[in-house]
Amino acid sequence: MPSDAPIIGISAGRIPVAGRVIDGTQREYADRITDAGGIPVLLPVQPTDSLVSIITVLDGLLFTGGGDVDPQRYGADPSPESGGIDPDRDRTEAFLLEQAAHQGIAVLAVCRGAQILNVARGGSLVQHLPKVTAEPHLVIERRTEAVHSVKVATGSQLGRIVGKDRLETNSLHHQAVDQMGNHLVAVAWADDGTVEAIEDPEGGVLGVQWHPEQMPDRPEQMGLFAWLIREALERRRLRG
């Protein structure tokens, strides 16, 4: 690993296991960052005072999947299908996103990560997709396989990364972006109109609703992690 490899913070959830709480997330996220040439660092839920110091040594952030974002953050009551809500995790990640925007730190947000990105910028979510579409989006048994395609916006940052106007993806979510957050645009959609990717038009911030880390045999999916490493290095250079 080069001595100047970018340090990428990976958000972690709090997972109850046998009466204990474990900080963690799927191993694939760290593996993909390492494969792309970065140094992964796990960021557990913690007070924002600690995060102020931590973020100064980071070059990029990867927001991971997990439980649902608290609907109270976007002015809604939880639906019966909502689960895994952790307001402290929401608070940690929203603060990290705010600091990343202020300091020009690159962001890749995956699944729940894309959802908290949208909510942190004032947007809202569809709380349970089966209530609004017949297309299956939570296909857990095929997590490493393509289960549907998404249309990618021409000229978008995402389009330049993957080099395609249609992309085959897995699908492991029951929520999705509804009202768009500030300074974000939708750049990919499933055939039923569900928003599958969002980005900041000014660059450096991308959220995808699928799980690219679980499709390592697809170069276009691995291109998302290569993009994060490139953006992290460039933004480090610009910060001096």
3-state secondary structure (DSSP) of residue 53: helix
Catalytic residue from among 148, 173, 211, 231: 211
Q: Which of 154, 149, 146 has its CA nearest to residue 218?
A: 146
Question: What is the three-class DSSP state of 143?
Answer: coil
- Angstrom distance (rounded) from CA 42 to CA 31: 12
- Active site residue: 28, 93, 199, 213, which one? 213
Active site residue 81: no
Q: Exactly one of 111, 137, 148, 174 is catalytic; which is it?
A: 111
Annotated active-site residue 111? The verdict is yes
Assigned token pair, 212: 């690219």
Q: How many Cα neighbours within 13 Å face the side chain of 201?
A: 10
| 3-state SS, residue 123 | coil
**146-183 burial string, b = 16+ CB within 10 Å, else e?**
ebbebbbbeebbbbebbeeeebbbbbbbbbbbbebbee
Provide the terminal-to-terminal Cα distance of the chain, rounded to the nearest Å.
22
| Nearest to 113, CA basis, from 133, 132, 129, 97 | 97
The alpha helices in the chain, defined as continuous H runs, are 27-36, 48-54, 87-103, 112-120, 157-162, 219-239
93 is catalytic: no
Residues serving a catalytic function are 111, 211, 213
